[in-house]
Amino acid sequence: MARRKRLGAPQTGDAAPETKAFPLGVAPTTTRRAPIAQVAGDAAALAAAEALAGEMAAARSEGRLVQALPLDRIEAGHLLRDRRVFDPEEMAALKASIAARGQQVPIEVIETGQGAYGLISGLRRLSALRELQEETGEDRFARVKALIKPLDSAPEAYIAMVEENEIRSDLSFYERARLAWEAAGRGVFDSPQAAVKALFANTTPARRSKIAAFVVLHEAFGEALRFPEAIPEKVGLALVKAHQGDAAFAARLRADLEAEQPETAAAERRVLDESLRKPAGSFAETPKAEPVATGISMAASNGRVVLSGAGVTGELAAELRAWLAARR
């Protein structure tokens, strides 16, 4: 019987298989795909790429694609804003958040042509980024994340701004009313009442009624008030009621505000409260003065007499005091 050859370890001089080209010394499996499979795979990949491109185009056209836009291309004053004053502490907190974590929520804009954009919502975020960029000079604050919305009309743009801010901002009744009044003044809506109805369609009828009342407040006293955003709901409604029930109230309140020149919201609030406590008819607009004697003219109304002219002297004032004292 023939002896079987014993297998042993390879000798030093034996050639070892080449393994350098393969990871872990394992050669990859090479399997050729059939031509029909290759065509089907390429077609599937092309279809997937086209579907992705179509979805991206749709997201861009529908305003769902977040894009990074240069800060200097955003026009913050494109719309009248419903909020004009920011709380310093809230703004500081927002800046700190953006500096630490970046901008988390995109703003909303519309294209206005020539590479420019008009701000719809997100004024606080835009302002915070601009302040950070100015303070630090860092490039990471030079762009703002934005959704470019496909809005076709000015009313749609205002409604979009209001809806976003109704969710994110604690707007006062006065701020809402002022926006409706000024939007109507620009011709965006037919009237302030129509503006309130359209802009705040998703709120309750009672809330819309209060906003409409503050529209009256803005029309009557907007220019005279320095801190109208701070007027509470109850005080504002009381002012409107007094204005509508007393023809002299508007003149009285304006005169009080002019005399006091309040420098803070609290000081203005005291003037408003004091005017509401005064009885109806306690002040009326002074009619035109008429001559009553040589060098003396008089204007009189309920609760008020005004003498004027060269004949009004200290001697006349003393005689009037004596005459009035004798009538008691």
Q: Are 295 and 309 in contact (CB under 8 A)?
A: yes
- Among the residue ranges 31-45, 72-86, 103-117, the one predicted with the least confidence is 31-45
pLDDT band at 189 (very low <50, low <70, confident <90, very high): confident
Residue 15 confidence (pLDDT) above 70: no
Q: Is residue 232 part of a domain?
A: no
63 lies in which domain range?
Answer: 51-164
The dihedrals phi and psi of 79, each to the nearest 5 degrees, come to -120, 155
The dihedrals phi and psi of 72, each to the nearest 5 degrees, come to -75, 0
The pair of three-digit structure tokens given for residue 304, joined into one six-digit string = 């008020």
Q: Are 103 and 125 in contact (CB under 8 A)?
A: yes
Using DSSP, state whether 241 is helix, strand or coil: helix
Give the 3-state DSSP-derived string for 9-37, with helices as H, strands as E and coil as C: CCCCCCCCCCCCCCHHHCCCCCCCCCHHH
Q: Is residue 218 part of a domain?
A: no
Most confident of 126-135, 147-156, 246-255: 126-135
The model's pLDDT over 28-75, given as tens digits with 9 standing for 90+, comes to 555 566 666 666 666 666 766 666 666 666 666 666 788 899 999 999
Q: Is residue 122 part of a domain?
A: yes
Residue 3 confidence (pLDDT) above 80: no
User: Residue 314 has what pLDDT?
Assistant: 82
309 against 91, higher pLDDT:
91
User: Residue 318 has what pLDDT?
Assistant: 84
How far from each other are the two terminal CA atoms of the chain, in whole angstroms? Answer: 159
Distances (CA, A) of 247 to 205, 216, 256, 269: 28, 14, 16, 21
The dihedrals phi and psi of 224, each to the nearest 5 degrees, come to -85, -20
Q: Is residue 98 part of a domain?
A: yes
Residue ending a domain, among 164, 189, 224, is 164
Residue ending a domain, among 136, 164, 192, is 164
User: Residue 5 has what pLDDT?
Assistant: 57
% of the chain beyond a pLDDT of 90: 30
Average pLDDT, integer, range 253-261: 88
Question: What is the separation of C-alpha 72 from the centre of its chain, rounded to a whole number of angstroms?
Answer: 19
User: Residue 23 has what pLDDT?
Assistant: 57
User: Residue 87 has what pLDDT?
Assistant: 78
At 298, the amino acid letter reads M
Q: How many domains does the chain have?
A: 2
| Predicted TM-score of the model (pTM) | 0.52
Dihedral (C-alpha) 144, 149, 151, 156: value to the nearest 10 degrees? -70
User: Residue 289 has what pLDDT?
Assistant: 74
d(CA 246, CA 249): 5
Most confident of 81-95, 128-142, 164-178: 128-142
User: Residue 302 has what pLDDT?
Assistant: 59
Q: Is residue 278 part of a domain?
A: no
Q: Is residue 125 part of a domain?
A: yes
- Among the residue ranges 66-75, 152-161, 251-260, 289-298, the one predicted with the least confidence is 152-161
In the β-sheet with 290-293, what is the strand arrangement from edge to edge? Answer: 290-293, 296-301, 304-308
Q: Is residue 213 part of a domain?
A: no
Most confident of 15-19, 94-98, 145-149: 94-98
Question: What is the separation of C-alpha 121 from the centre of its chain, rounded to a whole number of angstroms?
Answer: 6
208 against 30, higher pLDDT:
208
Give the 3-state DSSP-derived string for 60-118, with helices as H, strands as E and coil as C: HHCCCCEEEEEHHHEEHHHCCCCCCCCCHHHHHHHHHHHHHHCCCCCEEEEEEECCEEE
Residue ending a domain, among 130, 164, 198, is 164
User: Residue 122 has what pLDDT?
Assistant: 84
User: Residue 137 has what pLDDT?
Assistant: 93
Q: Is residue 301 part of a domain?
A: yes
User: Residue 268 has what pLDDT?
Assistant: 95
**What CATH number should be reported for the domain holding residue 103?**
3.90.1530.10
